[in-house]
Amino acid sequence: MNADFNDLLYVAHERRNLKLPGNSVTYLVDRNINYTNVCTINCQFCSFYRPPGHIETYTQTFEQISSKVRELEDIGGSRILMQGGVNPDLDLDWYIGLLTALKKRHPSISLDCFSPIEIEGIANVVGKSTREVLVELKRAGLHGLPGGGAEMLVDEIRTGVSPQKGASENWLRVMSEAQELGLVTSATNVIGLGESIGDRVEHLDKIRNLQDSACSSGLPGFTSFISWPVMLENNSLGRGNRGHNRYSLGANSTEYLRHVAVSRLYLDNIDHIQASWPTMGMEVAQLALFAGADDAGSTMMEENVVSASGTTKTGASIDELRTMIVSAGFIPVQRDSEYNTIYELPEPELRN
């Protein structure tokens, strides 16, 4: 908490170099797809969702979603990250049909879809366990589970801003089930929700403990960890509704970089720490590469959830990510969602 800012970033960067020797920074060519905005959870920090029956609700057709995947294929992408809301009108057969169709039409694209809270929602609709739902979705083509919906895994904070989202243990349980089934998973953290420094450490500790459990069972666990500050411009939380929070809302760039550094040091069992350009901008994300982060994030192509709450940049080109990495003195390496190398720029191109 009181560590010198420059010293903290330096130590985190050195730790990153020890864990991942070399001068590479990875990036992913992917696309975010928000297949529906219907949701019953009513998170105070979310400006994206609409309740069932609202005039602005939507659920995309299989063809609409497939057309977005084709656009990703056109630029050489390898993964879609698809999330929506907890939509009570969609049953398990709809999700199975969607994954089956996408896998048939786009066999080379990894389907990392549906956060743990969406899995819980599907399970509640059809009266199955979350594990049973995951088994059927994996059989239909599901490759991985995004880390969304974790926010702050401290129940006092969690219930203050998302009273219907459920306890932190639910998110951890669904992620553990996904890992046991061989699905690719990542961990996330939203700061600035009114939590204390101790709350942030508690969140990191729960992630680290689950990772220890996965590793001790011979499972890969979380591939990566990404954090970002809550966006407050266009939601009820930002308009002064502090729920049950005890501390001030929001987090500035210095606080964010400190959290990235602490994450690198505390999560000693997770290889990859990702910078967040959508919430922080390219310049601060670039600084995060000197605060312990080794990944510059992804192209995304579109982003509707975070952007609805305030950010204006919803996509990054491949050239933008490469330029950000090269200008910081690193070598850009395109990866897939499991951090396997897809493409590394030849040396002559790095000098141009």
SS (H, E, C) 305-352: HHHHCCCCCCCCCHHHHHHHHHHCCCEEEEECCCCCEEEECCHHHHHC
Could you tell me the two tokens for 86?
A: 């907890």
CA pair distance 62, 60, nearest whole angstrom? 7
pLDDT at site 65: 95
pLDDT at site 297: 93
Asked whether residue 331 carries a pLDDT value surpassing 80, the answer given is yes
* Parallel, antiparallel or unpaired: strands 295-298 and 144-145: unpaired
φ/ψ region of 165 (left if φ > 0, alpha if ψ in -120 to 50, else beta) reads: alpha
Q: Are 189 and 227 in contact (CB under 8 A)?
A: yes
pLDDT at site 36: 86
Mean of per-residue pLDDT scores for the chain: 88
Give pLDDT tens digits for 272-301: 999 999 888 999 999 999 999 999 999 988
Q: Would you give the distance in Å from CA 109 to the centre of its chain?
A: 18
CA pair distance 13, 134, nearest whole angstrom? 37
Under the banding of pLDDT at 50, 70 and 90, the label for residue 254 is very high
pLDDT at site 345: 74
Crossing angle (nearest 10°) for helices 197-216 and 168-180: 20
Task: Residue count of the chain, please give it.
Answer: 352
Q: What is the CATH number of the domain that holds 48?
A: 3.20.20.70
Instruction: Count the helices and strands in the chain (H runs, E runs).
Output: 13, 11
Give me the domain span that covers residue 105: 5-351
Give pLDDT tens digits for 72-107: 999 999 999 999 888 888 999 999 999 999 999 999
Give pLDDT tens digits for 4-63: 999 999 999 999 999 999 999 999 999 999 998 888 776 665 776 677 677 888 889 999
Report the pLDDT averaged over residues 337-344. Answer: 94
pLDDT at site 238: 42
Instruction: Report which of 255, 258, 232 is spatially closest to residue 245, judged by C-alpha positions.
Output: 232
CA pair distance 299, 282, nearest whole angstrom? 12
In the chain, the number of structural domains is 1
